[in-house]
Amino acid sequence: MKELTLEGGWGGGSFNFNKDEVIGKEIEIQTCFGSKICTGFITDCIKRFGTDYDHGHEYRWENVDYLYELPDDPFERWTKLTTLLSDNYKVFLKD
């Protein structure tokens, strides 16, 4: 399984994968200690916007975030991958 990560930095950071690798694919979500919590599917991507500040100037950026859905969620909610990764969960793309 490949671990999906988000590296911080300018422009909202960058993922270690591209869109075609993950849309429609199954993921496994684990605690930061490696215990499996559940699986889900990356269903779509959305644009996200933000700003970086440097030397007295604000720089706007546009980036992509990915939405995942858990199969047993009775409300069929989509959640952002960046939220999951920023809360120190590990996410793996299943083979």
- Please check whether residue 90 is in contact with residue 31, taking contact to mean a CB–CB distance below 8 angstroms: yes
Q: Say which DSSP state 71 is in.
A: T
pLDDT attached to residue 36:
94
The pTM of the whole model exceeds 0.85: no
> Which tokens go with 62?
């546009």
Q: Under DSSP, is residue 1 helix (H, G, I), strand (E, B) or coil?
A: coil
**In this predicted structure, what is the pLDDT of residue 31?**
94
Q: What is the per-residue pLDDT for 13?
A: 82
**pLDDT, tens digit only, all 95 positions of the chain:** 999 999 877 778 889 998 889 999 999 999 999 999 999 999 999 988 888 888 888 888 888 899 998 877 777 778 889 888 889 999 999 98
In one letter, which amino acid is 45?
A: C
Question: d(Cα 81, Cα 71) in Å, to the nearest integer?
Answer: 16
d(CA 6, CA 14): 6
3-class SS of residue 19: helix
pLDDT of res. 22? 94
